[in-house]
Amino acid sequence: MPLNLVIDMKNSQQGSIIIFSLLLLASILAITLTLASVFIPKVRSIAEAGNSTRAIYAADSATEVCLYEARNQPASAIARPILINGATFTIASLSASPVDVSADCRPLSSTTFKFRALGTFNGVSRALEIGQ
């Protein structure tokens, strides 16, 4: 092989490693972004499952308080519990003749009643409907 041809080939291949490196980096970036688009929603749904559990427990707490008041008719309304995890709840009557049960469920004392307890935690809400 003549010496001129070897020098020409060497000069014509300068910079090809930069192009190869850029293609390799672009491929790695594409794979990373694809994996991130698959796994980030899964991580979010796992976090939402924890929030959902706390919200359903808040609704369950409201249900227990309301059922106790409606069935046992204490002399005064039971103080609504303050949940230490920051969850909140509301209670609403679903009976045929709706009454305000947001602070006191004793008016539900009839033999048949229906109410909804809605628990909320970090923007996730879960509801329980109770009827008797």
Place of tokens 């227990």: 64
| 12 token code pair | 């014509």
Q: How far is C-alpha 90 from the geometric centre of its chain's CA atoms?
A: 19
pTM recorded for the entire structure? 0.68
pLDDT tens, position by position, 82-132: 899 999 999 988 877 778 888 888 887 767 788 999 999 999 999 999 988
Boundaries of every domain in the chain: 3-131
Integer Cα distance of 117 and 66 in angstroms: 9
Secondary structure class of 95 (helix, strand, coil): coil
Q: Are 115 and 105 in contact (CB under 8 A)?
A: yes
